[in-house]
Amino acid sequence: MKNRKFIYLHSTFLLSLLLILVSGCEREVSDEVDFASFQTNPEVFIDGFSGGLEYLPFGGSKLDAFSVDEEVKYKGTSSMRFDVPNFGDPEATLGFAGAIFPDYGGRDLSGYDALTFWAKASKAASIDQIGFGSDFGESQFRDIQDKYLVTKQNLRISTGWAKYVIPIPDASKLINESGMFWYAEGPEDGDGYTFWIDELKFEKLGTVAQPRPAIFGGEDLEAEAFINIQGQIPQEGLTQTFNLASGVNETVFAAPSYFTFNSSDVDVVRVSELGVLTPVGIGTTTITATLGGVKAQGSAALEVKGGFNLAPVPTRNEENVISIFSDAYTNVPVDNYNGFFGGQTTTGTNPTIDASGMTFLHVDIRTEESIDSGDSIVIELIDFGADSAFGGGNDTGGGITISSGDLESGTWISLDIPLASFTNNTGGGLSGFVNGARANVAQLVFASGGISTLTVDNMYFYTE
């Protein structure tokens, strides 16, 4: 069923059971005990940080992007100022500004329905990501990083002050939240700019209405699964939409923990609070969800076919290998797998890889669906150049095409691709990935031409 581009990576999961024995007498909790509660302070920045708030910039971002501005403000004496860097700014190695503002003491935000603020910019722009719920997982009371993350993408701001509302998907979950605010923004058309935020706080508006949650982007999907392979409900398809007082339908991306997932047959597939799918038996089940008691649009009918035929185990000497993803080798640090850019799936390494001593790229790929004559897979490599950062005018990239004649359904295909083959221009303003320009490899991209589901394993560079 070719209605969506998913690319999966195989991994092996070891499940263990921890048995805790507790000895001694048991005591009942007295009815007179008062359980600790967290502060309900809604303020984040009102002429200054609220009590307990911290500023933690992302690694690779412009560390001094944030400051307190006493000249430009919407109200009161000061505002939050954010200076987005230009491409190639040496103080922002990854070419962006971004940070979280946590309160690790925790706050009870269950009495509010939105994060609100006033904002303006030095020019019209769209902030890539902005929201709340990001805390790096450092709270002593939290065991899951960013458990209740909320993200508004591409928030459009102008040169005049305006109020913005980011609704809370389900406020009843936020009885102990650490992540008060976060953002990530890169240059606009290559140029940096400045934006300001003021009167940043949580509010009970009472006008956040008509919830319409969705999973799988609101689509009803069909897919195959295998008993020894766990999967993850794609977080880019988890959304909550509310109608605001302005009449705008505001959509935010919501972390899996806001949802209550359901499998119609738990003897076939079980689904965790974090959206992890664990096939346990042969058969068919349907995955659905609710959020705040409202049924989410979208579902996935999963057919579990038994055990999965794993990719061949690599036998090359690890001394001659730089591994991106493989159970057979030690892998280099990777920022993200399944990073989506315009329908493509990207693996991003951090730091960049010096593959100048390597001569081949190896990947194992597999698809279970039938191959049509026009189907193809494009594999691309992108090098960030000597500055090891996106932008700056020295990025190069090139790709090769695996055509339908080289693809086969239901079997692993092992590809050993000479790096010298990556000479074609990939577009997007990048010059060709010329032979030798591989000292700062940052991205490995799989772009599907008609293939909706691709499994990838054993991605590594090597030399013979």
The 10s digit of each residue's pLDDT in 212-230 is 999 999 999 988 888 878 8
Mean pLDDT of the chain: 84
Burial 327-364 (b: 16+ CB within 10 A, else e): ebbeebebbebbeeeeebbbbbbbebbebeebebbbbb
Query: Are residues 112 and 171 in contact, defined by beta-carbon separation less than 8 angstroms?
Result: yes
- AA letter at 95: G
Share of the chain above pLDDT 90, in %: 61
Q: Record the tokens describing residue 228, joined without a space.
A: 């020894």
DSSP E strands in 59-161: the ranges are 66-69, 79-84, 97-107, 114-121, 125-132, 150-157
> Residue 291 and residue 167: Cα distance in Å, rounded?
14
* Least confidently predicted of 65-69, 75-79, 431-435: 431-435
Q: What is the pLDDT of residues 227-240, one digit of tens each?
A: 878 888 988 899 99
Q: What is the pLDDT of residues 383-427, one digit of tens each?
A: 887 777 666 667 777 888 999 999 999 899 999 999 888 875 444
On the question of pLDDT at 100 being above 60, the answer is yes
User: Mean pLDDT across the stretch 309-335?
Assistant: 91
Amino acid 144: pLDDT: 61
Number of H helices, E strands in the chain: 0, 33
* Least confidently predicted of 21-25, 26-30, 56-60: 21-25
User: Mean pLDDT across the stretch 284-293?
Assistant: 97
Distance of CA 312 to the CA centre of its chain: 29
Question: Residue 321 to residues 326, 362, 415: CA-CA distances in angstroms?
Answer: 11, 10, 15
Give 197's strand partners: 80, 119
> Residue 8 and residue 214: Cα distance in Å, rounded?
22
On the question of pLDDT at 370 being above 70, the answer is yes
> Residue 431 and residue 96: Cα distance in Å, rounded?
22
On the question of pLDDT at 98 being above 60, the answer is yes
Query: Are residues 5 and 343 in contact, defined by beta-carbon separation less than 8 angstroms?
Result: yes
Select the CATH number that applies to the domain covering 310-462 from these four: 2.60.120, 2.40.128, 1.10.287, 3.40.1130: 2.60.120
Burial 381-417 (b: 16+ CB within 10 A, else e): bbbbbebbbbbbebbbbbbbebebeebeeeebeebee
Q: What is the pLDDT of residues 254-275, one digit of tens each?
A: 999 999 999 999 999 999 999 9
Amino acid 143: pLDDT: 53
Q: How many residues does the chain have?
A: 464
Q: What is the pLDDT of residues 161-171, one digit of tens each?
A: 999 999 999 99
Amino acid 294: pLDDT: 98
Query: Which residue is it, tokens 């939050």?
Result: 80
What is the second-level CATH architecture of the domain 43-203? Sandwich (2.60)
What count of Cα atoms within 13 Å lies in the side-chain half-sphere of residue 262?
11
User: Mean pLDDT across the stretch 196-207?
Assistant: 98
Domain limits of the chain? 43-203, 216-240+255-304, 310-462
Domains 43-203 and 310-462 share a fold: yes
Report the top-level CATH class of 216-240+255-304: mainly beta
On the question of pLDDT at 336 being above 70, the answer is no
Between residues 434 and 136, which one has the greater pLDDT? 136
Between residues 235 and 142, which one has the greater pLDDT? 235
Helix/strand/coil percent split, the chain, to 5: 5, 45, 50
Backbone angles phi, psi at 410, to 5 degrees: 75, 20
Query: Are residues 434 and 419 in contact, defined by beta-carbon separation less than 8 angstroms?
Result: no
Amino acid 387: pLDDT: 72
Amino acid 426: pLDDT: 47
Neighbours of 120 (CB within 10 A): 18
- AA letter at 164: Y
